[in-house]
Amino acid sequence: MTRPTADTLLRVLAPLLGGLALGIVLQATDSRARLYTAASPGLVAAVAGLLATVVVAVVGLARRRAAAAAVAAAATAGEAAVRQVAEEAARDRLRFFMRLDHELKNPLTAIRAGLANIEQAGGLVLASAGTAAALASVSMQADRIARLVSDLRKLADLETQQIETAPVDLTGLLDEVAEAVAEIPAARERIIRVTVPRAPWPLPLVEGDRDLLFIAVQNLVANAIKFSAPGDTVEVRASEDGNALLLEVADTGAGIPADEIGQVWQELARGRAARSLPGTGIGLALVRVIVVRHGGQVAIRSRVGQGTVVSIRLPVPDRARIAPDVAGLRQDRDTPGMAAV
């Protein structure tokens, strides 16, 4: 039910988006027509901005359609049917992102080439200050759309792509994250604490893709810094919890209003507080996908005015659960079949 709607929408919008993009390029690059000065710089920038907005709107619409379908199914059928519809909707969304990404790549390539052309042509064009500013603006907007598109693509890729599984030492990874986020200017005005247990044994290793886990944790800490104020505290806490490793990123920032907390894991979710800040709104969705692909879970707790805690729970494979020299003893005791050996 959702497919025809999303597809039709894309079919209708793709040429429009392409057309808008081409419009910008043609308007900006046809030197014989000397249009750079004729085209209002404000208009060109506005069209590019519009492009970005349309993408966001289309994606939001696709998501709402999928949710509506799930609700409709829930009203008429059992739990299994609901799950089936939800999975189908997720696949639809994935296909939709891939096609959106695909449809936008060529116009974006053309826009970038057009801009490079103008830049290369040099002096004459850039002589007027207004034109230079307009070009810079178009270039920035094109980059913004490119980033948005590639972020959505990244999500789609991660949901399907095979991920590497190798033992990952989170202790070392957290040190690296701490180093990486220290380079964010606002980090200097936050109190950042990383707590990792080292006694009586270090954190167990988890199985997975180190690069992806790095992105997940880095995103959470960067978010905590972004949504807090100078003087606030950001804590990164790791602990062992049964068969899992628990990682929490907590901040004493503004917190998330109750009516927004349900949506934070969705792609392009941007809370009211985030609207004034840069970003594509893909961070937490990316974190969720990465953690889920590692067999883990994510959760978020928040109180407005007090702060937010995001937690990640990752499964720990049996053999890595406790320190290696203890593992032998434990195995003898816990595995009756092995005890006699």
Partner 1 sequence: MGGPDVRPVVILADDDEAITSNLAPFLDRAGFTVHVASDGETALELVERLDPDGCVLDVLMPGPDGREVLRRLRRAGRWLPVVLLTQVGESAERAIALDEGADDYLNKPFDPYELLARLRAVLRRARPGRRPLSASPTLRPGDLRMDRISRRAWLRDTELVLTPKAMLLLDYLLTHPDELMTRDRLLEVLWGFDFPVGTRAVDNRIAELRRALGDDPARPEWITTVPGQGYRFVARVDDAR
* Strands 233-241, 191-195: pairing kind: parallel
Q: How far is CA 3 from the centre of its chain?
A: 24
Given 95, 105, 237, 270, the residue binding partner 1 (CB under 8 A): 105
Binders in 138-167 for partner 1, by CB under 8 A:
146, 150, 153-154, 157, 161, 164, 166
Task: Spell out the alpha helix ranges (H) of the chain.
Answer: 2-29, 35-38, 41-76, 79-121, 123-126, 129-160, 170-182, 210-226, 258-261, 283-293, 324-334, 336-339
- Say if CB 206 and CB 170 are below 8 A apart: yes
Given 84, 109, 195, 335, the residue binding partner 1 (CB under 8 A): 109
Closer residue to partner 1 in complex, CB, 161/239: 161
Site string for partner 1, 194-233 (x = CB under 8 A): ----------------xx--xx--xx--x-----------
* 99: contact with partner 1 by CB under 8 A: no
Structure tokens given for 309: 């805690």
C-alpha distance across the termini of the chain, in Å: 59
Given 66, 110, 316, 320, the residue binding partner 1 (CB under 8 A): 110
Closer residue to partner 1 in complex, CB, 253/283: 283
Shortest spacing between CB 214 and partner 1, in angstroms:
5
Given 11, 64, 83, 102, the residue binding partner 1 (CB under 8 A): 102
* 243: contact with partner 1 by CB under 8 A: no
Q: Which helix (H) or strand (E) holds 233?
A: strand 233-241
Binders in 252-291 for partner 1, by CB under 8 A:
283
**Long-range contact set of residues 111-115: C-beta below 8 Å, sequence gap at least 24:** 111/21, 111/24, 111/25, 111/48, 111/138, 111/142, 112/142, 112/146, 113/25, 114/24, 114/25, 114/28, 114/29, 115/28, 115/139, 115/142
Given 45, 73, 114, 204, the residue binding partner 1 (CB under 8 A): 114
Positions touching partner 1 (CB under 8 A) are 18, 21-22, 25, 29, 102, 105-114, 116-117, 120-121, 146, 150, 153-154, 157, 161, 164, 166, 176, 180-181, 183, 210-211, 214-215, 218-219, 222, 283
